[in-house]
Chain A
Amino acid sequence: MATPVISLERTDPYHPPAAHLEILRSDAPISRVQLPDGRRLWALTRHEDVRAMLADPRFSSDRRDPRHPSHTPYVGPDHRQQLIEMDPPEHTQLRRSVVGEFTVQRLAAWRPRIQQIVDESIDAMLAGPAEVDLVEALSLPVPSKVISELLGVPYTDHDFFQDNSAEFVRADSTPEQKKAAIGNLQGYIAGLVQEKVKSPGEDLLSRQIAAGTELEELQALGFLLLIAGHETTANMISLSVATLLDKREHLAALREDPQLTVGAVEELLRYFSIAEIGAARLATADIEIGGVLIQAGEGVMGLTNTANRDPLVFPEPDEIDFTRMARNHLAFGFGPHQCLGQNLARLELEIVLATLVRRIPGLRLAVPFDEIPFKEKGPNYGVFELKVAW
Chain B
Amino acid sequence: MRIVAQPDRCVGAGQCVLVDPEAFDQDDKDGTVIVVRPRPESEAEIARAKEAVNVCPGRTLSLSVED
Contacts and interface: CB of A to CB of B under 8 A. Distances in A.
Interface of A: 54-55, 95-97, 99-100, 102-106, 327-328, 332-340, 342-343
Interface residues of B, number: 23
Contacts of A104: 14, 17-18, 21, 26
**Max chain B Cβ within 10 angstroms of own Cβ: one of A55, A104, A334, A335:** A104
Interface in B18-32: 18-19, 21, 25-32
Interface of A is mostly: helix
Nearest to B31: A99
A225 to B, nearest CB: 15
25 contacts: A55-B59, A97-B30, A99-B11, A99-B31, A100-B12, A100-B26, A100-B31, A102-B12, A103-B12, A103-B14, A103-B27, A104-B18, A104-B21, A104-B26, A105-B25, A106-B28, A327-B15, A327-B19, A333-B57, A335-B11, A336-B11, A338-B11, A339-B13, A342-B13, A342-B14
Interface of B: 11-15, 17-19, 21, 25-32, 51, 54-55, 57-59
B31 A102 contact: yes
A82 to B, nearest CB: 16
Contacts of B28: 100, 103, 105-106
Contacts of A106: 28
B30 A100 contact: yes
A192 B17 CA distance: 33
B29 to A, nearest CB: 5
B13 A338 contact: yes
B55 A327 contact: yes
A210 to B, nearest CB: 12
Nearest to A97: B30
